[in-house]
Amino acid sequence: MQARFRVLWMLGAALWLAACASGAGGSDEDSNPLASGLTANFVGDASPVCPGNADTLSLRRVNAVGRNVAVGIAVTDCDASMGIYGVVFDVTFDPSIMQCASSNPCMPGTLLSQPLLTSNPQCTCNNTTGEILGVFTRKAPGTNESVAQSGIEDIVQFVMRINRAGVGRIDLAGTGDVNGTALVALSGSSPSDPPAAIAGLAYSGGSAVGQ
Amino acid sequence: MSRCNRKGLFVPVALALGLIFGAPQVSGATNGTLTVLWDANTTDTDLNGYRVYLSTDATLFNLTPAAARPLATTRTVGTSTTTSVFTSLNTASTYYVAVTSYDTSGNESVFSNVASAQPAVTPTLTSVSPTSATQGDTGVTVTLNGTNFQSGAVVSFGPGLTVTALNTSAVPLRLVATVDVETTAPVDMRDVSVTNPGNGVATKTNGFQVLLDVARVDINQSNRIDGGDIIEVAAAFASRSGDASYSVDFDLNVDGAVDGVDLSFLVTYFGSVGPF
């Protein structure tokens, strides 16, 4: 009996060691209890309603896959009155909850069509301060775009990667300013007619959730 | 009837004598060349040729041509020739040149005007240091090393760069230029050239680079290079110098076009925060 017990004990120890060895070979991500099993989501602050409301530039969820969530910078134009040349944006985020999925986490949305100044939005991400600066425009002297009445379209999308459980804000900063966040229109083709921010927009952000 | 028949003396018509310096293939400080050019005699029907007088003694030309001839280096050329090249001259000396014309009877005119010059010395330019400066820099000290530099040499860095002073105290081996770079100097590689007084030229291809002043990328001077700046450039995109939408403020590399190169500068510095 004792010998049989010793064999079982050794077999159990071997299985335990094998399990430990298997665990040691996994990724850091998997061994991080904060990140393990996380799924990402994003909840926008507002759902634009037309007519009667202001035109909006807001953040909304596009999709979420595992720890990554794609967020759209969405444009609504309740009366189809805006001529949109492009967008500049200054997005702030909570770096303790999320990071940019890549150094240029931005993708074109559906609003701007060719010819574009750059095929992809130009973005830069600072994961320390939690800020994305970006710009995406048509190629001058191209015509402005417009959003169908009561329609909603993303002008840019960006992907964030959740790195821990919790809720973190994502907001549009410096709104209404071409050095912050604004939709932009071209009033002319001369340097004396510089691009201008489209006035009268309502802005809103949202919360990214890691759970 | 020729003038010499009328006056008994051949009247000079080759009054416009110009000198240019020799071909740059001449090398070595003692192998200079001198090219003499003069206007043709178009008035004398019995013109037979020209005689070129060369000397390091200017007073020789106070004599008559006949008296000066045995004391000078002379060369006769036909009526269809109005240029003559002297080679293997001492580059350290100043040479004086005059031309006469003579007719079929052997009458010779008086001297033309006397021109003087030093034979060409072809310099070499081996290095330039530093090799770059930024738009808007002033008083940049640039050292040029090489051979055969002469006092009176002229240094050129191309458009937008001005040599405000040139120290020639270390010739023939070194020149030290003080350079101002215009704020809108084209951003590119430059050929640096040294031209000696005799037009001997040395060039260092792509020897100097003008760098972009990053402050210019902050076009709207918001102290941050961001979308606002790209939007400004975008509004003028594809414009060329002379177009209504063109401005050198958007043409960051100052090549006369607002294009992808300018955009690439913005992308490179995108997100940078000043002060610049």
Evaluate if residue B246 carries a pLDDT over 50: yes
Higher pLDDT, A123 or B93: A123
pLDDT band at A50 (very low <50, low <70, confident <90, very high): low
Indicate the range of A98-102, B39-43, B57-61, B254-258 predicted with least confidence: B39-43
Give the contacts of B101 (CB within 8 A, at least 6 positions apart): B10, B12, B13, B14, B41, B44, B47, B49, B50, B51, B108, B109
Average the pLDDT over B242-247 and give the result.
92
Evaluate if residue B236 carries a pLDDT over 70: yes
Evaluate if residue B245 carries a pLDDT over 80: yes
By DSSP bridging, strand A202-204 and strand A56-65 are: parallel
Q: Which residues of B touch A103 (CB under 8 A)?
A: none
CA distances from A137 to A109, B105, B217, B232 (A): 11, 85, 18, 11
Closest B-chain CA to A188: B235
- Which of B218, B220, B223, B231 to mutate to probe the A interface, most A CBs <10 Å? B231
Q: Which residues of B touch A84 (CB under 8 A)?
A: none
Shortest Cα distance, chain B CAs vs residue A111, angstroms? 17
Average the pLDDT over B144-166 and give the result.
96
Residue A44's pLDDT is 96
Residue A51's pLDDT is 59
pLDDT band at A35 (very low <50, low <70, confident <90, very high): low
CA distances from B66 to A91, B14, B101 (A): 93, 17, 12
Q: pLDDT digits over A95-116, tens only?
A: 999 999 998 899 999 999 888 9
Q: Are the beta carbons of A141 and B270 separated by less than 8 Å? A: no
Higher pLDDT, A117 or B19: A117
Residue B176's pLDDT is 98
Higher pLDDT, A19 or B52: B52
Q: Are the beta carbons of B227 and A118 separated by less than 8 Å? A: no
How far, in Å, CA of A84 to CA of A82, rounded?
6
Q: Which residues of A touch B230 (CB under 8 A)?
A: 88, 117, 122, 135, 137
Residue A15's pLDDT is 41
Evaluate if residue A142 carries a pLDDT over 80: no
Higher pLDDT, A49 or B36: B36
Residue B5's pLDDT is 35
How far, in Å, CA of B44 to CA of B25, rounded?
37
Average the pLDDT over B253-261 and give the result.
96
Query: What percent of chain A stands above pLDDT 70?
Result: 78
Q: Are the beta carbons of A195 and B271 separated by less than 8 Å? A: no
Q: Are the beta carbons of B235 and A179 separated by less than 8 Å? A: no
Q: Are the beta carbons of A122 and B245 separated by less than 8 Å? A: no
Query: What percent of chain B stands above pLDDT 90?
Result: 70
Higher pLDDT, A129 or A142: A129
pLDDT band at B29 (very low <50, low <70, confident <90, very high): very low
Closest B-chain CA to A144: B235
Evaluate if residue A143 carries a pLDDT over 80: no
Closest A-chain CA to B223: A179
How far, in Å, CA of A210 to CA of A43, rounded?
11
Evaluate if residue B3 carries a pLDDT over 60: no
B249 touching A (Cβ < 8 Å): yes
Output the six-digit token pair for A113.
């069509």
Mean pLDDT of chain B: 87
3-state percent helix, strand, coil for chain A, nearest multiple of 5: 15, 45, 45
- Max avg pLDDT among A28-32, A50-54, A73-77: A73-77
Q: Are the beta carbons of A88 and B271 separated by less than 8 Å? A: no
Distance of CA A177 to the CA centre of its chain: 20
ipTM above 0.90, yes or no: no
Residues B6-19 as b or e (16 or more Cβ within 10 Å = b): eeeebbbbbeebeb
Residue A4's pLDDT is 52
Evaluate if residue B205 carries a pLDDT over 70: yes
Residue B43's pLDDT is 85
